Amino acid sequence: PQSRAAASGGAHEFRTREPPPAVAIAEAVVMAGEFEETKSAAAPEGSVSYVADHHKGMSVRKSRQMSMKDEPQRKVSKKYKEEEAHAQSQAAQGAALPVASKDRKSRRSTSVVIAKAEEMRQRQIMLYETGKDPNDRDYHTSAHSTDLKMLMASQNTKLGTDGPACREGSAGIEIAEATTLQEVSGKNTITPSQKENIWLRLIKQIFTGIFNVLLWGTVVVEGALIYSGNSNDVVTPIILASVVVAAGLLQWWTELKAESLMDALSNMQASAPVPTIRRSKNERRELMLDAEDLLPGDIITLKAGDRVPADIRILWCTDGMEVDNAALTGESIPEPRDPATCEEKSPPTQARNLAFYGTTVVKGNATALVFFIGDKTFLGKIAASIKSARSKSTLEIQIEHFVHLIAVVAVVVGLASLVANLLDPKPHPIGYIIANAAGALFAQVPEGLIPTVTISLMIASQKMSLRNVLVRKLDAVETLGCVSVVCSDKTGTLTRGDMTLGDMVHFSSPTAMETVTDFSKTDPADKNTLPSKMLRGGIRNNATVIGKDNKFIGSPTEVAMMKAGLEAWGVKKVKDVMDNTTLYEIPFDSANKYMFIAEPYNEGGQLFSLKGAPERVAKFCKYAYVGQGGQAAIKLMTPEMQEVIAANAKTLMGQAKRVLGIAERRANYPADFHWDSATADFAKENFLCDMVFIGLFGIQDPPKPGVKQAVEDCHAAGVRVIMITGDHPDTGVAIAKEISIIPAHGELPPFTVITDKELADKVPSGESFVDDGSDEANKLEAFWTQVVVHARVFARVTPIHKQLIVQALQKWGGKQADGKCYGDIVAMTGDGVNDAPALKQANVGVAMGIRGTEVAKDAADIILLDDEFSSIVHGIEQGRLSSENLQKSIAYTLCSKVPQCMPNFMELLGIPLALNVSQVLAIDIGTDIWTAIAYAWQPKESALMERKPRHPTLEKIVNGGVLVYAYAYMGLMQMVCCWYFYFQAPGIWNNLGKSEFTPEEAHTNKVASTMYYYTLVVGQIAAAMATTTYHESLFKYLAPNGKLNICIGMEVIFAMLIIFEPTSQGIFMTTGLTAKQLLMPWMTFIAISCVEEVRKSFARKSLHAREVAPQNFLVRDVAPQNPLMQRFLGA
């Protein structure tokens, strides 16, 4: 068989997916006697078959009636389908004929079978665009631009005797080839991604990860000590195990909620039987096949309401057929379909003669050719792009970094304690040594970290929901605060997604035109004012239908004029205009690009109205109204006036507006004129001549209110906004200028606007960009490193382009002063299935809650419930606040670690243990965890949206500054105060160096230990107040967080319970204190607070909270960001 390369003159090379092992296919075919037997697998005589009745009707309504009438035949045809399948199955099995049977010689040779399978595979390769790799990530096909006869011949399928409609005669593929073709093509289903067992994942969440390993190791050691009799502390391991299990369960549950992405995709696959036409020995066979059994080359029939079961080429359709692509693209406006062959190299996703898997026919009937099925469809390509696991979030990476850091510190401290015990001249029992080392290690582990982070993010997500931002993945809250680039759809996100009549332009003089934007003064009865005449003509010559609940059905431009009329005149006047008798009508079509209507005129005669593309309307105009709408204002159209019309139309188009022209003329045909007998040629010759030009309509999808301000707020916050649209570049640029994405004036720098043509050869051959030094890698890097810096508008892009844009920003964006690219943190908005790959690729995927499809919502991290771009800005601000508060929370939690571990080392010097493991737990789990969570309600300290975004690689939440503050500064002050008040316990000095204690001495140790514990509680209260601000004085900031204040009060109450409640005294080994002993540790609070006020005063003088964002966002600012250590230390 001829290959595609041979067919095209060998001009291109093709890399194709490896076929199924040809020999294996051939052997299976030969063993089954497939090619001999399937030829006779025709329908049984007298079977009742489905008749494609919906092609017989001339209207949608009639086709529906006939389809309902023949519904019983559909049901009977299922029986035929089963018999047909049984016959094919018997043929495929060869009736279990032995290999050595007499007719073995009649079977085809293995080489013929292999050739047949290869021929079928080559047929499918021919469906791809010339020179394109079938394995490309992007969607390619030549089915829309290939001549119909060539396309049918290449797929070995036939049209009916009546042509593309295929209502008569044999058509479709040969039934005898179906089984082999299915071996090559596979089933018409999208391959689902493999899912991990949810219970195995739960086990991983609880028992894996270095943090959990440390905690479980501590639990095991504690359990071993209890079992061996070296410890009686049962509370510690139970509480610790409970914390780990609870944190694992919480994380597991949140992940399960985000797992329905592929399920939503599978729901888009067609399930109803599909009317299919095949042939057997040149006889017509009309079948009802399950969608999964469709094959390339099949001819199918569709009617209004049917879901498209594969990627199809429209062979024939009724006038005005429309397909709803909302499930795929998120666009709510149905798109017309036309069987005409498209221009070569035109994008297949914009082809009107194609319909895609998962979309729905909303109007009309069609006969179509299946060309791609399953994973090769447009929907299948999208599904393949989202099967890969989501990369770790910025928060996950930072927490993992922090956990590793803490693990190293904890292990080093534990080993140091172990070595110190072993080197101690005074021998210790092995149980004591292990308990001491485990206690030192355990004191460094922030057991409440994961629950604190998770619950804090949950609280932040609830606060964001009040601003119409629904958080689906909790860690997206923190990531949103780090976003440096927002890639946004245009339609429905930046714009209203609703076409609106904005301008009416008419001649004010023969050399100039004026624009009217206020339509409230117009009146349909006013025949002398041009705006009134224009709007009346636009509404009367209109194909919009007002349906139930006052919903408009029609093209967006028609609906826009209808809405303008309703707003200006009210329902009654609009209905009066529309209800006028229609004498003759020429509907709009894509070839003529105009629509015409003739109606009776109330002053006698008729009124003709012509509306359409400005150049088409102007061509029929011999005259024009100038200044007024009366007969006296009609002037002869001159070439100069034609130029004025063209210039004004161009100006409106440059403002991202769709432009329509409108003209009219009076006629005086006799009352008995037979309008129904007028042909199209007669109408064009007699009705459309000598028209009088009225004016131009400017219709656009305007920006949403508040979007311009939101974009400017993003700029002030150091966040770039990039528009990604499928519209024309001029439309995208006009809107981008209007909402401040790019400057309204001046020449744009290179790479500011990127189109699909520029991206066509800038797609990597693999799944993502690579740095292998190849020519391709170097070419891509040279292009994309410029694009990620300067691009502000991407136009005419495909879904894969969107994903690549995000990948490029993540790889080459975020260039710093050191010349390194750390990658931008990207938020991507989307609403259609085609946006799902980019939504999943982005650091934060943002789906639209109103217009978004379920697949887009499942792929996203957050959902905008109101579809407002300004909600993203609110989300970024809340994300920054959440990150800041999370950092303060972690810093507060770590402050107690130094005073918690030091007693284990001091015990080696003969000082009685000042803080036991159960007391450490009482601080970490009993008090600190709730106070740390309360930071989620902390109000902002400064103007968060005047800072540049924090890059998680350069500025981690837990970095050197936080550790120095917590361990070497706050922790050191707490430790000094704790030891000072420890030694204030009466008689404690006498117990130094002893290993055995009398009951009185043991009680003294308990008093000292309780003093140490209580002082540390007070020290943590001081730390809680200190860490609420980085620089601002508490005398000015005060204590605005009521929940934090309550938690601080609860800390004191909980400490009192542990100190004075008898049961708690037994568990935590504490004892009651005197009033003086309870008051003395509060000197710690005063001391720490005073030192902090001094530090903050120096910090306020030495630096700002963060460098203010630059104003020029066409040039990326690469100044280094201030490390977080400066926040705490002011250095």
Given this model, what pLDDT does residue 79 score?
37
Looking at residue 267, its pLDDT comes to 59
Q: How far is CA 11 from the centre of its chain?
A: 39
Structure tokens at 5: 């390369």
pLDDT per residue as tens digits for the range 547-579 = 666 667 667 788 888 889 989 999 889 888 888
Is pLDDT at 1081 greater than 90 in this prediction?
Answer: yes
Give the per-residue pLDDT at 254.
63
Q: How far is CA 806 from the centre of its chain?
A: 11
Side-chain half-sphere CA neighbours of 476 within 13 A: 31
3-state secondary structure of 280: strand
Helix axes 869-894, 999-1026, angle to 10 degrees: 150
**Amino acid found at 54:** H
pLDDT band at 482 (very low <50, low <70, confident <90, very high): very high
**Cβ atoms of 569 and 523 closer than 8 Å:** yes
Q: Which residues contact 521 (CB under 8 A, 6 or more apart)?
A: 531
Q: What is the pLDDT of residue 608?
A: 95
Among candidate residues 233, 311, 475, 489, the one labeled active-site is 489
> pLDDT digit string (tens) for 137-177?
678 888 988 999 889 988 889 999 999 999 999 999 999 88
* Listed ranges 109-118, 333-342, 440-449; the one with the highest mean pLDDT: 333-342
| Strand ranges of the sheet holding 283-289, from the earlier edge strand across to the other edge | 283-289, 274-280, 299-302, 366-372, 311-317, 354-355
Strands (E) in 217-376, as ranges, are 274-280, 283-289, 299-302, 311-317, 322-324, 335-336, 354-355, 360-363, 366-372
Statement: residue 312 has pLDDT above 70? yes
Does the structure show a pLDDT above 70 at 76?
no
- 45-58 mean pLDDT: 34
The whole-angstrom separation of Cα 515 and Cα 508 is 9
The CA-atom distances, in angstroms, between 46 and each of 43, 77, 80 are: 8, 12, 10
pLDDT at 390: 62
The pLDDT value given to residue 259:
54
Query: What average pLDDT score do residues 420-444 get?
Result: 75
Whole-number pLDDT of residue 193: 63
Question: Region 810-826: what's the mean pLDDT?
Answer: 89
Average pLDDT value for residue range 265-290: 82
Q: Tell me: the pLDDT tens digits for 940-967?
A: 877 788 888 988 888 888 888 888 999 9
- Is 489 an active-site residue? yes
Q: What is the average per-residue pLDDT within 824-844?
A: 88
**914: helix, strand or coil:** coil
> If you average pLDDT over residues 755-778, what whole number do you get?
84
Query: Which DSSP state fits 866?
Result: T
Per-residue pLDDT averaged across 850-854, rounded?
78
In contact, 665 and 601? CB cutoff 8 Å: no
- Give residue 266's pLDDT: 55
Q: What is the mean pLDDT of residues 277-301?
A: 92
Mean of pLDDT values over 412-440: 77
3-state secondary structure of 545: strand
Could you tell me which residue, 1113 or 879, shows the higher pLDDT?
879
Alpha carbons 142 and 135: distance in angstroms, whole number: 15
Reply yes or no on whether the pLDDT at 419 is more than 60. yes
Q: What is the DSSP string of 938-994?
A: PPPSS-GGGBPPPPTTTS-SS-HHHHIIIIIIIHHHHHHHHHHHHTTSTTGGGGTT-
**Directed axis angle between helix 449-465 and helix 394-423, to 10°?**
160
**pLDDT at res. 507:** 96
Q: Is the model's pLDDT at 650 over the cut of 60?
A: yes
Look at residue 111 in the predicted model and tell me its pLDDT: 63
Mean per-residue pLDDT, 1044-1069: 93
Triad 901, 907, 910: Cα angle to 5°: 155
Side-chain half-sphere of 210: how many Cα atoms within 13 Å? 14
Residue predicted with more confidence, 25 or 357? 357
Of all residues in the chain, what percent carry a pLDDT higher than 90? Answer: 34
pLDDT tops 70 at residue 78: no
DSSP-derived pairing of the beta strands 621-625 and 634-636: antiparallel
For the ranges 253-267, 277-291, 870-884, the lowest mean pLDDT is seen at 253-267
Q: Where are the alpha helices (DSSP H) in 330-385?
A: 378-385
pLDDT of residue 116: 67
Between 92-101, 228-237, 773-782, 1023-1032, the lowest mean confidence (pLDDT) is in 92-101
Average pLDDT over every residue of 116-142? 73
As a whole number of angstroms, the distance between CA 361 and CA 336 comes to 10
In this structure, of 195-204, 260-269, 753-762, 930-939, the range with the lowest mean pLDDT score is 260-269
> Distance between CA 782 and CA 751 in Å, rounded?
12
Does 905 score more than 70 pLDDT?
A: yes
pLDDT at 404 (0 to 100): 80
45-59, 651-665, 829-843: least confident range: 45-59
Tell whether the model's pLDDT for residue 231 goes beyond 70.
Answer: no
What pLDDT score does 80 carry? 37
pLDDT tens-digit map of 517-555: 999 999 999 988 999 999 999 998 776 666 666 667 667
* Residue-level pLDDT at 434: 78
Q: Which has more confidence, 312 or 840? A: 312
**Mean pLDDT of the region 399-424:** 81
Q: What is the mean pLDDT of the chain?
A: 80
Choice among 426-435, 467-476, 963-972 with the minimum mean pLDDT: 426-435
pLDDT: is 778 or 388 the higher one?
778
Tell me what the mean pLDDT of segment 115-136 comes to: 71
For 705-755, write each residue's pLDDT tens digit: 999 999 999 999 999 999 998 777 888 898 999 999 999 888 888 999 999
Q: Give 417's pLDDT tier (boundaries 50, 70, 90).
A: confident
Whole-prediction pTM: 0.72
Q: What share of the chain is helix, strand, coil (3-state, %, to 5)?
A: 50, 15, 35
pLDDT of residue 909: 84
